[in-house]
Structure 1
């Protein structure tokens, strides 16, 4: 009789482990589906190429999602037990799901606040401006028609000329203290308005190839994908959130952005 009891307990424990694994696997599959939908939002809207690389969107998202996707199923594995009353089991699983969704929502909100909102021509370079870099006291000073945070991802802007020497000195000093000129909405203007200045500051791609002969094939590949020859293209450096610099390829006649290179061209 004692041996039979041990056998029954052994099978009961084994069955419970199988149930826990099944519940955790289902939870993992659902978590992966939610993560995929969140990834579509992040990488198609908030951090489209090249911003997922320039602004660190990939790392931010992976950090948030990896922790969330792993922890939820692990907690389900720990709390799932068919021996519990059904009402209690449903309550436990509902609490796990609520905690996981709350953590994901908070993580996505953090990614949203750190997202790039504009790529701005800053007189002799491009700089990516992120939501968190714009001072709250300057938000109301954005020109009409230029949103602080575009719904459909980052847009191209340029900076207007300084009104006078006093403004030049004041804003340049603020930039030296950590507030980039491109993060000031009161300096923004449309990309079309500043296109002549972009073309004036841009340099021929032939110079880029001369500076980086070992990257010539990569540069030619980017031009080929854009349908331009080296004579039809120019470039400007791009300030990235990461330490590595990037390069923006432009149409030499229209200032249209035609490509990006992970190449520090300063």
Structure 2
């Protein structure tokens, strides 16, 4: 096998692997087009560049038919590439969305690394006390009416930087806030920094730690439909 054939084969295997990871993450963790604001594209691009550098390009540099120790060199490249890939998968795992939180003014996409384990244990529902593996839970929060509760939230934010959307003990079933969200949704008419949607379409801003956009709202039940970019 020539150097370029070895490079091409290694490149094909690497691209197939990265594409498979990206597709699995997209289908499993990012409903409603949430990948558009999640930073998934940038993370996968970084993984691809590192994987290319640590894999096929090194193969191109060192491969020489009949070279003494070639098998050992290729094994070292495979181990290095696997190590970088494992680190990328760990980063992808920590950045996966675990809660899609709707409020009366916005949606927030919360990733696994945004949630403190101690806060997670305080969630009102058992299923919310563990981070999901197969896509974010859809939940809601409402501003507290009690002055003491508002003060406590402000104090928590000042101490930890975590707002109501990152505190599972504040979460409510989405059905309890859907009507409020439906009524508060804004026309997607190109004003208020919103994208230009179809006539009658409404939505609310959606934010993640990486980006922002707009969430299209179902006018009948207030459910999120799809993520739009301005």
TM-score bracket, shorter-length normalisation: 0.7 to 0.9
Q: Shift of the alpha carbon at 1:19? A: 2.1
Taking the aligned partners of 2:81 and 2:118, their CA distance within structure 1 comes to 35
1:152 aligns with 2:134: yes
Unaligned runs of 5+ in 1: 1-17, 221-228
Q: Determine helix, strand or coil for the equivalent of 1:219.
A: coil
Aligned to 1:78: 61
Match of 1:211 in 2: 191
Q: By how many angstroms is 1:193 displaced?
A: 2.6
Q: Provide TM-score, normalisation by structure 2.
A: 0.85
Q: Highest Rg: 1 or 2? A: 1
Deviations 1:152-197 (A, max 9, x none): 2123210256484322211123335521210101111221232233
Q: Which moved more, 1:50-59 or 1:71-80?
A: 71-80
- The runs of 5 or more residues in structure 2 that have no matched partner are none
Shift of 1:60: 1.0
Provide the TM-score with structure 1 as the length reference: 0.75
Q: Offset of 1:103 from its aligned partner?
A: 0.6
Which position in structure 1 is the counterpart of 2:49?
Answer: 66
Q: 1:135 aligns with which of 106, 112, 116?
A: 116
Cα pair 1:35 1:69 within 8 Å, conserved: no
Residues 120-199 of structure 1 mapped to structure 2, 5 A cutoff? 120-142=101-123, 143-146=125-128, 148-159=130-141, 162=144, 164-176=146-158, 178-199=161-182
Change (3 A) 1:214 1:108: closer
Are the equivalent residues in 2 in contact too, given 1:248–1:257 (CA < 8 A)?
A: yes
Which secondary structure does the structure 2 equivalent of 1:81 belong to?
Answer: coil
The structure in which a higher percent of residues are helix is: 1
How much has 1:213 moved relative to structure 2?
A: 11
- Cα RMSD of the aligned pairs, angstroms, is 2.7
Q: 1:241 aligns with which of 179, 186, 209?
A: 209
